[in-house]
Structure 1
Amino acid sequence: MAFLQVNVYSNVLEMEVSMNVLLPQTTHKKIGTVTQGVTEDVPVLYLLHGMGGNHSVWERRTSIERYASIYQLAVVMPSTDLGFYTDTTYDMNYWTFLSEELPKIVHELFPQITYKREKTYAAGLSMGGYGALKLGLRKPEMFAAVASLSGALILNNVDALLTTRKAAYWEGIFGPLDQIKGSANDPMTMVEELAASKDEAPRFFLACGTEDFLYPASQFMAAKLAEKDWAVTFEDGPGEHNWIFWDHWIQRVLEWMLKGN
């Protein structure tokens, strides 16, 4: 695998943005992993970070490069700061960047990466789990499957939000807190809108540690998705909100995405 540290200009955000990218590369090593390169129609995973992370954190905290090499999978890991994958009220349009501009940049710079829905995926942890689910629900025509690990998937509990950050932060992202429920950024609203549209939903995978404070949110969302008769997999196991859990479960995510089980 090739590991690329990429700095690009975002016209949407009007700033320089960093991302790390893994690309399949043919290698013949005496010591280490031998890999086969792919030069066209490469499947791609958009892998999103959580609060406190950035474009480097998946590479630093897990063995994602080694795991992706098994599947000859490109992995795009963008930095979106603390923008919660949302077009914020403070005029930083992280959602538009992620869902519209970033794929265009990726295809411009890496033309070997697929354009096909059936080979395009998204996953993330915590805040990134919300972002990945949002991509699946609001851009179903782009993604075959999405996965949320320990996702922040319920946003209408104001008291819970305020245990993480001050109200000013959340209001900067979403606007008045009492208006999150029912808004375009509310996961439940996204679920209902996709169901009403009759568009084909992607496959969904949700996993969370049984000791994680966000475990009830994943359980609840998995049940709501399943109510729509969509393809939903919910799995859990011992674990807290940490990289021990995410490093283990991203391997399961890749198996589920690429092997379909």
Structure 2
Amino acid sequence: MAFIQCDFYSEVLGVSTSVNVLLPEQTSTQIGMEGRSSGRKHPTLYLLHGLSDDHSIWMRRTAVERYAAPLGVAVIMPNIGRSFYTDMACGYNYWTFLSEELPRVCQSFFPLSDRQEDTFVAGLSMGGYGAFKWALRQPGRFAAAASLSGAMRVQEMAERVPHDYRLIFGEGKELAAENDLFALAAKAAEEKTALPRLYQCCGTTDFLYEENTAFRDHLTSLGIPSHYEEEEGTAHEWAYWDRQIAKVLNWLPLHGPKDKE
């Protein structure tokens, strides 16, 4: 695969920002890895980082390139800071950047498909929240979404990281429904919205485990289908996420019916 470290100016953020990109490359002579590319616009996975990380972390901590190469999928890894993928009360408009500007800019730079059946999102921890939030708020954009050890109840941040919570969601404000995964799922069920395929996983000793089982049960109660996995004795750790991102990539519906481009 081609690995591109891309710096560009964001009109939404008003500053320069960074995104790491993996692009499919058809290869057969690389030792230990074979690349695949359809020669058309690439199916694309937006891969989101956690609270203490940045756009470089997936390449530094996992073998995501090796997992993605034989599948012919592009991977977009943006830098979203500690924003919880939100237009911050005191900060930058990272939700608008993620959901509007980033896809438009990346599709102008790289040969990425803009079709729903070719577009996916996944993330870990804060990024798991971001992935499900994006999929629930813009379900027509994605064919599938995955949350790895996701922060499903952001209200809990008010106790864990109160300063971040105030900067992101505001001082003393009730969490808006647009930022609440439980409320977004309930709204989708009430409106009978067609949702992307959902994949959720968490370790049983992760500090976010109870949030994840609560959201799993919430989806079940709403009649929203999802794939759920948990791993006994696993905490909030990269060895687990490395295993899981390989599973997620193989779970993605990458080989569905294709229309002519």
Q: Which bracket does the TM-score occupy, shorter chain normalised?
A: over 0.9
1:170 touches 1:177 (CA, 8 Å); kept in 2? no
Show CA shifts across 1:233-261 (max 9, x none): 1101131101011001111111211369x
Deviates more, 1:189-198 or 1:218-227: 189-198
Instruction: Note if contact 1:209-1:240 (Cα within 8 Å) is conserved in structure 2.
Output: yes
Q: Deviations over 1:13-36 (max 9, x none)?
A: 111110100010122325231323
Report the Cα offset of residue 115 of structure 1: 1.2
**Rounded Cα–Cα distance in structure 1 between residues aligned with 2:209 and 2:94:** 26
Most deviating of 136-145 and 195-204: 195-204
Listed one character per residue, the Cα deviations across residues 2-52 of structure 1 (whole Å, up to 9, x for unaligned) are: 110011111111111101000101223252313233331311100000011
Cα distance in 1 for partners of 2:214, 2:158 equals: 17
Partner deviation per Cα, 1:67-88 (whole Å, 9 max, x = no partner): 0012111000000011110000
Alignment partner of 1:113: what SS? Answer: coil
SS in 1 for 2:249: helix
Q: Which amino acid aligns with 1:202?
A: P
In 2, the alpha carbon distance for the partners of 1:259 and 1:97 equals 26
Residue of structure 1 in register with 2:237 after alignment: 242
2:48·2:128 contact (CA, 8 Å) conserved in 1? yes
Q: TM-score, normalised by structure 2?
A: 0.92
In the alignment, the residues of structure 2 paired with residue 202 and residue 229 of structure 1 have an alpha-carbon distance, to the nearest angstrom, of 14
Does structure 1 conserve the Cα–Cα contact (< 8 Å) formed by 2:120 and 2:145? yes
Q: Equivalent residue of 1:236, what SS?
A: strand
- CA shift, 1:224, in A, is 1.1
What secondary structure is seen at the aligned counterpart in 1 of 2:112?
coil
Identity %, equivalent residues: 41
User: In structure 1, what is the Cα distance between the partners aligned to 2:204 and 2:56?
Assistant: 27
Partner of 1:125: 124
Amino acid at match of 1:45: L
Which 5+ residue runs of structure 2 have no aligned equivalent? 256-261
How far apart are the structure 1 equivalents of 2:65 and 2:158?
Answer: 33
Please tell me whether residue 162 in structure 1 is matched to residue 174 in structure 2: no
Counterpart of 2:57 in structure 1 is 57
Q: Which amino acid aligns with 1:100?
A: E
- Displacement after TM superposition at 1:197 (Å): 3.0
Q: Cα–Cα, structure 1 residues 177 and 184, in superposed 2: closer, same or farther, change >3 Å?
A: farther
Residue range with higher mean Cα deviation, 231-240 or 78-87: 231-240
For 1:12 and 1:119, how far apart are their aligned partners in 2?
A: 25
Pair 1:200 & 2:197 matched: no
- Match for residue 14 of structure 2? 14
Residue 33 in structure 1 maps to residue 33 in structure 2: yes
Change (3 A) 1:148 1:30: closer
Separation in 2, partners of 1:12, 1:194: 28
Question: Which shifted more, 240-249 or 35-44?
Answer: 35-44
Judging changes above 3 Å, is the alpha-carbon distance between structure 1 residues 48 and 177 closer, same or farther for their aligned structure 2 residues?
Answer: farther
Give me the whole-angstrom Cα distance separating, in 1, the residues matched to 2:97 and 2:134: 12
TM-score (norm 1): 0.92
CA RMSD in angstroms comes to 1.6
Counterparts of 2:141 and 2:151, CA distance in 1: 22
Please state whether the residue corresponding to 2:155 is helix, strand or coil: coil
The letter for the 1-side match of 2:169 is: F
SS in structure 2 of the partner of residue 70 of structure 1: helix
Change (3 A) 1:30 1:121: closer
Asked whether the 8 Å contact 1:6–1:18 carries over to 2, the reply is yes
Q: Quick check: 66-75 or 21-30, which moved more?
A: 21-30
Query: For residue 127 of structure 1, what is the amino acid of its counterpart?
Result: M
SS of match in other structure, 2:141: coil
Q: 2:229 aligned with 1:232, yes or no? A: no
Q: How many residues align?
A: 254
